[in-house]
């Protein structure tokens, strides 16, 4: 069976991290060149990982559905299976815990378009291929300035402040990309022998702005406080910035406690341990060249499971 995987959107956060993880696992990773014939690029590929965002945002209602159709067409023409990352935005204000059986209630345009894309994937599933949706929270990765963690939450680290997008005590689900893409590799290995549509929610690491500030205080041996994000600033940008309008429409999301029904995930990965908050904080400080207390450096240094696929039973839902 082919060990070739085609990644769409390798220049993005998930695409780049997936490429590293699949290469480390021995896969032959190819990069899709935007604008080229996707069906031709997918020939001989066992999997297509769709981590690609539309090239622009002015016509998102046309671009995103068209891109999804092209991915499905390429999979059918090549015989490849599909993996795509998803998020929790499609649930809208639906009460938690979220999970595969939770009703969708997309609150804004992008969430609605993502929901429609997921339905297209479900409709495209057949006996010849697997279609995997790996649903996760906000991406985090040390050194990646485009994550909300680095762009907003830790933007006032120099002032010993944590910027909270919502109430300081509300816990949110975060997906460390190293963790997430290792899971992606294991899922692909398991799903090679199956077909159909599968949605797997990734539990990630849950913490609040308050817990993050406490951890920073401990590791840096100085007091950190929580300050609120200036949502009013987006109101000024909204008339001319679609990104600002979309961010404003997501404010409700950060007012909520995020909880996940991870039973489907635990069936596949019964012994999986996500990265601890201690470790996440240490890695972000390290990438910024900041020193931590000696005891802070001991945070979760023990080796974590390297071959998560070994913990999986191939006789599970996949």
Fold of 4-301: Rossmann fold (3.40.50)
pLDDT of residue 190: 83
Q: Max Cα separation, the chain?
A: 58
Q: What is the domain partition of the chain in residue ranges?
A: 4-301
The 10s digit of each residue's pLDDT in 300-317 is: 443 343 343 333 332 233
- Sign for the CA dihedral angle at 20, 22, 28, 32 comes to negative
- Mean pLDDT, rounded, for 276-290: 95
38 close to 71: Cβ distance less than 8 angstroms? yes
Threshold 0.85, pTM exceeds: yes
How many whole angstroms separate alpha carbon 7 and alpha carbon 11? 10
Q: State the chain's mean pLDDT as an integer.
A: 89
- Mean pLDDT, rounded, for 197-214: 97
How many whole angstroms separate alpha carbon 297 and alpha carbon 294? 5
């Amino acid at each position: 069976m082919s060990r070739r995987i085609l990644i769409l959107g390798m220049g993005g956060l998930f695409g780049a991290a997936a490429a590293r993880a699949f290469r480390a696992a021995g896969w032959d990773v190819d990069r899709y060149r935007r604008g080229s014939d996707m069906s031709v690029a997918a020939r001989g590929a066992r999997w297509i990982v769709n981590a690609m965002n539309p090239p622009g945002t002015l016509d998102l209602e046309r671009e995103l559905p068209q891109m999804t159709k092209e991915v499905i067409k390429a999979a059918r023409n090549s015989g490849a299976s599909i993996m795509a990352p998803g998020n929790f935005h499609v649930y809208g204000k639906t009460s938690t815990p979220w999970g595969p059986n939770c009703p969708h209630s997309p609150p804004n345009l992008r969430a609605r378009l993502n929901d429609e894309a997921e339905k297209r994937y479900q409709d495209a599933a057949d006996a010849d291929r697997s279609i995997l949706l790996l649903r996760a929270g906000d991406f985090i990765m040390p050194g990646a300035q485009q994550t909300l963690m680095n762009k907003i939450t830790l933007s006032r680290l120099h002032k010993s402040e944590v910027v909270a997008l919502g109430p300081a005590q509300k816990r949110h689900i975060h997906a460390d990309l190293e963790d997430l893409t290792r899971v992606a590799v294991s899922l692909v290995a398991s799903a090679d022998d199956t077909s159909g549509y599968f949605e797997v929610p990734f539990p990630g690491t849950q913490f609040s702005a308050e817990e993050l500030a406490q951890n920073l205080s401990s590791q840096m041996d100085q007091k950190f406080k929580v300050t609120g994000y200036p949502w009013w600033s987006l109101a000024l940008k909204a008339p001319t910035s679609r990104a600002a309008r979309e961010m404003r429409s997501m404010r409700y999301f950060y007012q909520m406690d995020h909880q996940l029904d991870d039973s489907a995930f635990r069936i596949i990965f019964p012994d999986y341990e996500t990265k601890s908050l201690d470790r996440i904080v240490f890695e972000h400080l390290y990438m910024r060249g900041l020193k931590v207390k000696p005891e802070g450096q001991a945070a979760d240094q023990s080796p974590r499971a390297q071959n998560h696929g070994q913990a999986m039973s191939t006789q599970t839902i996949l």
